[in-house]
Amino acid sequence: MSIVIAIKYIMFIKSLILMIFLTSQLTFAANLREQDKQKHLAVSAGIATISYSAFRAADFNKTSSAILSFILAMGAGHIKEHSDPFYDEQDMQANAAGASLGLILPLSFQF
């Protein structure tokens, strides 16, 4: 049973690396070509993925873990935006996309 878990985590890490690489190659309405948007997307994905794993390890159910992780990632992005000279809604769109992508992987692998 531990081998199966190890394989899932290896697949998860590989998928996360692939996701980060692919999102650096994409463009969408939030203009992901800007390096700032790519950073927002990547950091939000990382926060969502790591916090989801932490919530699951603390025996939260999948739904609660996903919701709390999304809120945490968006909250971090919101705090970051308030420290910037001006509030950029496109940065928050990149945060939402990143948080969503960061949750798709662990949810799809049933962690």
Range of the domain at 75: 2-108
Q: What is the mean pLDDT of residues 11-26?
A: 62
pLDDT on residue 38: 86
More confident residue, 8 or 100: 100
- How many independent structural domains does the chain possess? 1
DSSP 46-83: HHHHHHHHHHHHTT--HHHHHHHHHHHHHHHHHHHHHH
Question: Is residue 60 over pLDDT 80?
Answer: yes
Q: What is the mean pLDDT of residues 11-31?
A: 59
Q: What is the mean pLDDT of residues 36-46?
A: 90
Token pair listed for 86: 């001006």
More confident residue, 19 or 68: 68
pLDDT on residue 29: 46
pLDDT on residue 87: 87
Phi, psi of 37 (to 5 degrees): -65, -40
More confident residue, 6 or 23: 6
Report the C-alpha gap between 64 and 78 in whole angstroms: 21
pTM over 0.75: no
